[in-house]
Amino acid sequence: MPNLLYPLLSLVNEPSDLRELPRNSLKELATELRAYLIDSVSKTGGHLSSNLGTVELAIALHYVFNTPHDRVVWDVGHQTYAHKILTGRRDRMHTLRQFGGLSGFPQRAESEYDDFGTAHSSTSISAALGMALAARIKGEELRAIAIIGDGALTAGMAFEALNNAGVAECDLLVILNDNDMSISPPVGALNRYLAKLLSGQFYAAAKNAGKTVLRGAPPLFELAKRIEEHAKGMVVPATLFEKFGFNYIGPIDGHDLDSLVPTLENIKHLKGPQFLHVVTKKGQGYKLAETDPVAYHGPGKFDPAVGLQAPSTPPKQTFTEVFGQWLCDMAAHDPRLVGITPAMREGSGMAAFEQRFPDRYFDVGIAEQHAVTFAAGLACEGLKPVVAIYSTFLQRAYDQLIHDVAIQDLPVVFALDRAGLVGADGATHAGAYDLAYLRCIPNVSVACPADENECRQLLCTAYAQQHPVAVRYPRGAGVGVAVQSGLDALPFGRGQIVRAGKGVAILAFGTLLYPALQAASGLNATVVNMRWVKPLDVDLLLRVAAEHDALVTLEEGAIMGGAGAAVIEALHAAAILKPVLQLGLRDEFIEHGDPARLLSLQGLDPVGIEASVAGRFGDLLEPGRRTLKAVA
C-alpha cells in the first residue's frame, strides 16, 4: 500500500519499479525522495548536502540504464543515499552508519547495486574502465558508468584513468557532477539544446560520415576538425576531455530531469568513451543546506524545521581544534611555517589559519601525493611545512613519504588526524595502520599524544625537529584536559610512568592511556604513558621491564607491526625475555558504529583491558586482584 507521505517513492522498491513509472511523474518522485532524505538523515546524521545534490541524477541513471546489469560506480560514495533508497534499502535508512546497519558508502557486500566499494576519492573512472573492458573481453553488452565530482577530478588518479580510457575502445560513460559552478539561465537553456544535439544519433552519424569522406582530403579534414573544435569550444569546455579521446556533452542542469533523461537515453546508444558534464547544487531543495552546504556536509541529528543548533552546553575541545589553534600560534611565532591540506580545510581544522595567514596556506585539492612532495620542496628551501592530513589519506602518498621526504630527511611535520577508529565512517576511514606503516621508515618519528594538552606539546616537539615527524591524534574530543597556552615542548622520544603498581606494567600509546588507568586500578598495575612509538623510549622500557614480571602494550592501531611489535623488538634486541600481551586492533577490517562500542568489541575499553590482563597474567597479580572487576 502506498505511503501517504511518499506515495510514489513507496512504490519503488528496486530500479525495475522506477522504470515502470511514467516519465512525467519523475519530478514528483524527486520531491518525495528529497523530503525522505532530509527526514532520514536528520534522525541518523550523515552526509546531507552532497546527497541532496544527486537526487535527480540517481533517479535518471536508474530510470535510463538497466541496473544492476549496467554498472554504476559512484566516486567517494558519500552522495549515494538516494541511490541506496532507490535500490531496496529505503526501509533500512534508519540504521545508516550505525553498528550493523547500512554503510554511509557503497559496499559490494551490502547490495548487488553497489558495483564497487568507494569512500576515498578519484577511484571511480579506473574501476568503471576495468568493468567496461572486462565486458568487452567477455563479449557482454553493458554500459559502465562513473560518477565523479569536480573535487575528485582534481586528483591525478582520475586523469590517469581518463588518459587510459580515451584510447581503450570500450563503452564507458564518465559523468562529471560539477557542484562548484552555476549555469546562468541563457547558457543553461542553450546547453540543454546542445547536449541533446551532441548526444543524438544523427549528430554522431553525421560526424563519423563526415570524417570518412574528408579523410581522403587531408587539408579539408583538418579544417573541418578545427572548425568543430572551435565551435564546440565557444559554448562548452570540451577541449580538454575531447583531447583525452572522449565525446564531451554538456554542461547540463543536473536537477532538470527533462534534460537529464533524454540526454542519458541518447548516450546509452553511443559507442566509445562518453563524457557528460552535469551541474548540480549542494543542498538542493533544502534552503538551509543550500545557504551553508559546508555546515550540512556531515551533520549529526537535527530538526529539519529548525536546522542545526548550537549545543546547550559547550562541547569539549576536539583534537582537530587543538591542532588548528596550535598551527595559528606557531605560525605567528615562526614566519617559516606553511600549512598544507589536500582539500580538507574544515576537516583538518585549518579555516582560521587560512584567514590569518592566507599567503602561507595551501589547499592543493584532492592530491595527497602532490601535497607530500610539495611539502618536501618547501622544506628544501628552508621553510617548515606542516601537512594536515587524515591517517587513511596519507596512505595514498606512501611512496612520496618515503622517496621525497624520508630519504632526504626533510623536516616536514605530519599532523595525522582521524588516527584509530572513526566510528560512523567505518573501515575506509579508520586510521588503523599508520603506526605500522610509519615506524618502518628510516628517519621518520611518530608521536602519540594521550590527551589534548599533550597533543599541543608534542606538536611543538615535532616542529622543533630537523627530520620528518608525524603526530597522530584521534577524531573528536579527548577526556577534557585543559590545553595550556604557550609553545612548550615535551622531551623528544621520552615517556613517563603515570601510575606505579606491581607485577604487570601497561605500556599505553596514545589516548588509550586513560582506559588503561581505569583498568589498572583493579589490577594494581603500573601504567606508562609511552608517548613515542619511534623513537621508542628504550631506557624507560628496559627499566620497567626489569621491575615487572610481565608487560602489556596498548594501542588504538593494528597490532601487526604496531607499537607492541616495536616493544617486543626492543626487548629482543636487549636479550630480555619477558611475557608481553599485545592489545590493539585485531587483524580485521572494523566496520562503522559507535566508537565506544567498537572499542569495547575490540577489548580496548577499561573492562576489556582488565579482563585481558587478568586472563593472561592472573597468577602474577597481587592476591585478591585476580578476579575481574568491572570499572565504571
The catalytic site residues sit at: 282, 368, 396
Instruction: Give CA–CA dist 159/245, Å, rounded.
Output: 12
- Asked if 342 contacts 364 with a C-beta cutoff of 8 angstroms, the reply is yes
For residue 64 the three cell numbers come to 535510463
Instruction: Give CA–CA dist 585/567, Å, rounded.
Output: 16
Question: What are the φ/ψ torsions at residue 489 (nearest 5 degrees)?
Answer: -100, 155
Instruction: Give CA–CA dist 505/122, Å, rounded.
Output: 45
- Asked if 272 contacts 207 with a C-beta cutoff of 8 angstroms, the reply is no
The contacts of residue 152 (CB under 8 Å, 6+ apart) are 75, 76, 121, 122, 124, 158, 366
Instruction: Give CA–CA dist 155/570, Å, rounded.
Output: 40
Spell out the alpha helix ranges (H) of 69-153: 81-84, 124-138
- Asked if 463 contacts 415 with a C-beta cutoff of 8 angstroms, the reply is no
- Asked if 449 contacts 422 with a C-beta cutoff of 8 angstroms, the reply is no
3-state SS class at 263: helix
Instruction: Give CA–CA dist 525/500, Å, rounded.
Output: 7
3-state SS class at 241: helix
Q: Is the peptide bond before 535 cis (omega within 30 degrees of 0)?
A: yes
